[in-house]
Amino acid sequence: MIAQTLLNKTIPALKPNNTFIQALEWMGEQHIQHLAYVNEEGFLQSIISEYQVLDQEDLYEQLEVIEWNSAETTAYKNDSVFELLVKMQQHKLSAIPVVDDLGRYQGLVTQQMVINALANQYSFYGKGGLIALVMPAAKYSMAEIAQIVESNEAKVLSSILDYDAEASEVRVLLKVNTPETMRLIATFERYDYEAEAIIQADLTTGQEDLQENYDALMHYLNI
């Protein structure tokens, strides 16, 4: 899944003749704290935050009165959902603008859109649990991991692999089809895996539950 497939083109980009109060209104309507700022030719100039807007004395002035800094980070049409995720987390963005190779603004991807994309791609919806495994790189075998899960009458729904070359360790985040993960963790520990339950709940499509799962995933990935 790439940025181009997630674009929201209905969220307007700010232009020099827009006012600070308009920026606040648009952010409020979209429930985000960041908007793209483009010139009249449609090239991305900056990312404007709610904090920057509220810091202005006259909210009815036009945005052009400020010389905005260039956007610290942008996304490109072919960036993966994980690249979007890392950029947004590193720069604390509620939304990230997407540009083409020439820097022309294409649309916005919000954090909520990334959460939903991850939920769909990695089976966050529905019943199940998340288990984090840590092992030496030489020990890693997805076939053995799946066999251990299946020996407990469970199934692996999805997995995310993170290789730490410096520590020569592999971390695997497993989504399994059962919320009862303690027996699985005990089995993994008997096979000398370091195992931890990240989430042990009935995951629904409710946004609060989904946000908790997203936050747990971010904590695990240490982003």
How confident is the model over 100-127, as pLDDT tens digits?
999 999 999 998 888 777 766 665 555 7
Structure-token pair, residue 118:
């991850």
Residue 205: the pLDDT is 45
Q: What percent of the chain has pLDDT over 90?
A: 50
Judge contact between 188 and 195, C-beta under 8 A.
Answer: yes
pLDDT at 128 over 90: no
d(CA 108, CA 94): 10
Mean pLDDT, the chain, whole residue set:
85
Residue 156: the pLDDT is 92
Residue 199: the pLDDT is 54
Residue 171: the pLDDT is 87
* Region 84-106 average pLDDT: 90
Which residue did the predictor score with more confidence, 219 or 44?
44
Give the pLDDT band (50/70/90) at residue 15.
very high
Instruction: Kindly report, as residue ranges, where domains of CATH 3.10.580.10 are found in the chain.
Output: 3-117
Which residue did the predictor score with more confidence, 82 or 137?
137
Which residue did the predictor score with more confidence, 199 or 26?
26
The 3-state secondary structure of the chain, one letter per residue: CEHHHHCECCCCCECCCCEHHHHHHHHHHHCCCEEEEECCCCEEEEEEEHHHHHCCCCCCCEHHHCCCCCCCCCEECCCEHHHHHHHHHHCCCCEEEEECCCCEEEEEEEHHHHHHHHHHHCCCCEEEEEEEEEEEHHHCCHHHHHHHHHHCCCCEEEEEEEEECCCCEEEEEEEECCCCCHHHHHHHHHCCCEEEEEEEEEECCCHHHHHHHHHHHHHHHCC
Residue 123: the pLDDT is 57
CATH code of 123-208+216-221, in short, is 3.30.70.260
Residue 116: the pLDDT is 79
Task: Return the CATH number of 3-117, one of 3.20.20.70, 3.10.580.10, 3.40.50.720, 1.10.150.170.
Answer: 3.10.580.10
Give the pLDDT band (50/70/90) at residue 201.
very low
pLDDT at 202 over 50: no
- 126-136 and 156-164 as β-strands: parallel, antiparallel, unpaired? unpaired
pLDDT at 223 over 70: no
Instruction: Kindly report, as residue ranges, where domains of CATH 3.30.70.260 are found in the chain.
Output: 123-208+216-221
